[in-house]
Amino acid sequence: MATLFIRAHTYTADKAGGILDEADRQPDACTHVDQPQRPKWLGGNAATVRQKIADYMATRESLTLKNGQEATRKRRHDARCLVAGVFSYPVPVSGMGAFAANPVEMKRFIDWSRQSQDFIKREFGKDTVFCVHLDESHPHIHFFAVGNANKIHHGLKAEFDDTGKRRAAADRSEAHKAGLRGLLNDYWLTVGQNLGFNREEGVRPIWRVKDRQIRAKIADIDKALTRQPDESTKQKRDELWEKSPKAKRPSLSF
C-alpha cells in the first residue's frame, strides 16, 4: 500500500510573494511544471494570503522586557510569518481517470482530501488557505497559514521549552526533528491509518546519505528487511542513517 506525504516550510513576508505566484501558476513563476493548469483555491486565494500577511505584519509584537514589564514593538521585516506546506496523494495523476469507474477509490480520494484539510486546520488554524494542483506527477494540496511561525510550525515550536529557546544547537536540531516527526505521526494516525495507507516508508531515504559505502550498507539492510521484516534490524538501519552526514533536501516547489 502506498504512503502519504506531508511537508511544511516557513517563509518571510518578502519571500511569500514568489511562493504564492508559483502556487497560483502565474506566468514565469512555475517553470518546473511542463503544462501549468489553473489551481483550485479553497478558503480564499493567493490575494487572501497576501492580505493576511500584510495585516499580520502591520500589527505590533508583544514581548516581555528584562524588568518583567510587557511592551510591544514593530515586527521585524525578516520575521517568518508564513507556514506553507503540501500533502500529496500517492496515486499518479495519470491514473486518476480510472477513479471515475471505481467508486471505492474515488471515495477514498475524496476522504483523503477532506480529512487532510481538517487535520491541517486543527494543526495550523481554521483560517488556513488551500490550493489544489493536478498538473504534476501526483495530486497534491498546498496549505498556507499566516502567523508567528515560531508558534505554529511544529519543528520551530519544539525548539522552545519553558525557559525560552534551547541554547544548544544540537538540542534545537533534535527537538526540531522530533516536532516534525510528531506531525507526520499524527497525520498518519488521524488520516493515513483510517484510509489504509502505510506509515514512515521513505522517511529516511538512502539518497540523502553522502557516504557511498554507508548507502550500500543501508541498501543491504533494506533488502534484508524486505525478505524478513524485523524491528531491531530496522532500528539499526535508522540509527545508521541518523548518524550519517546527509545532503540537503531539495527546496519545496509550489
- Between residues 92 and 180, the one the model is more confident about: 180
* Low-confidence winner among 92-106, 114-128, 148-162 (lowest mean pLDDT): 92-106
CA geometry: angle at 73 spanning 72 and 78, to 5°? Answer: 140
Contact 91, 2 (CB under 8 A): yes
> Cell for 31?
517553470
Handedness of CA 125, 127, 133, 134 (dihedral sign): positive
So what's the pLDDT on residue 154?
Answer: 94
* Amino acid letter, residue 101: A
User: What local confidence, expressed as pLDDT, does residue 203 receive?
Assistant: 61
Report the chain's mean pLDDT, rounded to a whole number: 87
Is the predicted pLDDT of residue 205 greater than 80, yes or no? no
Q: Is the pLDDT of residue 158 over 80?
A: yes
* pLDDT over 70, % of the chain: 93
Q: Among 11-15, 32-36, 178-182, name the most confident range.
A: 11-15
Quote the pLDDT of residue 103: 85
Residue 1 has a pLDDT of 45
Q: Give the C-alpha separation, 107 to 113, whole Å.
A: 10
Most confidently predicted of 159-168, 169-178, 220-229: 169-178
Considering only CA atoms, give the Rg of the chain.
20
CB pairs under 8 A, 24+ apart, for 11-15?
11/80, 11/81, 11/82, 11/83, 11/84, 12/77, 12/78, 12/79, 12/80, 12/81, 12/82, 13/53, 13/54, 13/57, 13/77, 13/79, 13/81, 13/82, 14/77, 14/78, 15/82
